[in-house]
Chain A
């Protein structure tokens, strides 16, 4: 965050690069849509080279469409172009979800602005944001630098780190832990970019997207599926670059605790439904012999191990210290090992807790500071630290269980036909 990206990019020629930012929304309030646009408007990139696509849903009703038009009217002068794309309802072959909406928006911009203006596709970087995505002022400079300096920008996706801290002080402890767990996972993935696929708020070259027909319209996990679409289309010559730069999003909150917990579970389930990419990837690997066998095997192992471990490891860690005592039988119960096992497991867990201490420190550094006159300030900070004791429960309830749920549903052919939009609750007056 200490890098001055204006200075970094100063040595490069980047005036020809356009940013197409797609903001899909459903029934979110006008203030939230405006907050996302304002953060883009506040960016230090040349706004005449920023194209905004406000992707509203017809099924969300007239209110959503009118919000889009009001926003266009209000901010049109600040950007190179704003397109309002109202994705029609009941299109055959499409699911109700984000994928068809952002694809429709990209096609509308292409038809109504990019093609008429003769903007070269290879000069456009597309950012597929969520409506709660808030960027820092130098985000587009950073993204452009990576785009221009990477070896093959049209065969590369760019992934920022999603921080769920827009409303972090309004969120419950469980919600905060779940949010930071997702952030930490993305941070880990950023350090091993060879395994990285695209996730929320990714960016891709317009040229690459256009070649594969943009995002799939019949998939829930459009964010990650687009990576595999491009990987297979480019015969394995495609990768994701970790740009190690944050974008802020909302932690899951709701008016009541029960609704919050239910929403967290449903959001995690939707993310973990990304396992639907595994059969697509495997089928693609079987069909596409142009991808080197080594790469196919590598990604197969990484994906299978990843999905298996996220669903099973929390449960194994939780139970492994105790399960042998229950299942071990009489012969085992009398052994020195059976008496030592709880102690050894406890000590290993305590050692692992050191990692948790580090996580607490990192999480605090990501959280916006509370004003000095904020009511119950000390208490809030105290609970923001203590909340991490919930991790053993949250990784099981909001990690392993939705993981097993998603994988079992997929195995039984009970496909999810509708993208569940996480309800957003944020105090937008602040």
Chain B
């Protein structure tokens, strides 16, 4: 069998080269978001990416149905969106409060957001600190019977965990420091050791803490690089990992150094929402709130 002739191979080469040279720019352009608009002009579109922890949601874009998400593919990516305009994204699921965000789409960029979906009705559950177990021991002796009852207090580990999380008088960066004071009574030196609390930031946060005077702030909290504090009764958030990229919700037209949440009433206490560093649980006299740090319209602020 003879190999293909050079003539045929050359033709195949030129044909494939033509396909390559034609398809490659189209593929690259498509991947970079270039599309033809209604007037057949080339525009660079943008996209929206929604991170979600909730399964089986329905996503709407400007009130138009976009997609249903399943149990595994919870995130949503939509592209081909006209640039320099706002899109209202709504995520729904039965039994949950709808989440809405109005997001600005920029050419060649993907705008990110993270869905917050809270149930319509919370089921309150009392978590007891401990459980009392009662044991009855019955001794059977011929012609006589006696019963002894003993009780045992069993600590609930779930309560212990939550207690630590919500301990009132402990700040996140407080460390116990033992100090000794000395006094001379009739020429004899006596030492008195006492324990005080000092604020001590970890090494990676030191530079940020120094520039933003964190030690002077109230109720400083940190989770996965996100630092929050109370200042003049309002909540502030900033990105503490100065060498890492700032989270997307700090950047709209341009990236902000800090985000603020104006609060009308005294904040009794606040913490990060479990497993999230973009949500806060805030306790004030009027109730317990879940608040998004992402201040793009509409900022979710739900009260329980």
Contacts and interface: CB of A to CB of B under 8 A. Distances in A.
Interface of B (DSSP majority class): mixed
Given A192-B3, A339-B77, A344 B110 contact: no
26 contacts: A3-B1, A191-B3, A191-B9, A192-B3, A193-B3, A242-B3, A244-B3, A333-B245, A334-B112, A334-B248, A335-B108, A335-B109, A336-B32, A336-B79, A336-B108, A336-B110, A337-B33, A339-B47, A339-B49, A339-B77, A339-B79, A340-B30, A340-B32, A340-B33, A340-B79, A341-B31
A190 B3 contact: yes
Contacts, number: 50
B109 A337 contact: no
Interface of A (DSSP majority class): helix
A340 B2 CA distance: 44
B225 to A, nearest CB: 14
Contacts of A335: 32, 108-110
Interface in A313-336: 330, 333-336
B140 interface: no
A333 B109 CA distance: 9
A317 B162 CA distance: 49
Interface residues of A, number: 18
Interface of B: 1-4, 9, 27, 30-33, 45-47, 49, 77, 79, 108-110, 112, 245, 248
A191 B1 CA distance: 10
A244 B4 contact: no
A242 B2 CA distance: 8
Contacts of A191: 3-4, 9
B241 to A, nearest CB: 12
Contacts of A330: 245
Nearest to A189: B3
Interface in A162-218: 190-193
B109 A336 contact: yes
Contacts of A333: 245
Nearest to A1: B1
Contacts of B33: 336-337, 340
Nearest to B6: A194
Contacts of B47: 336, 339
B13 to A, nearest CB: 10
Interface string A326-358: 000010011111111100100000000000000
B32 A192 contact: no
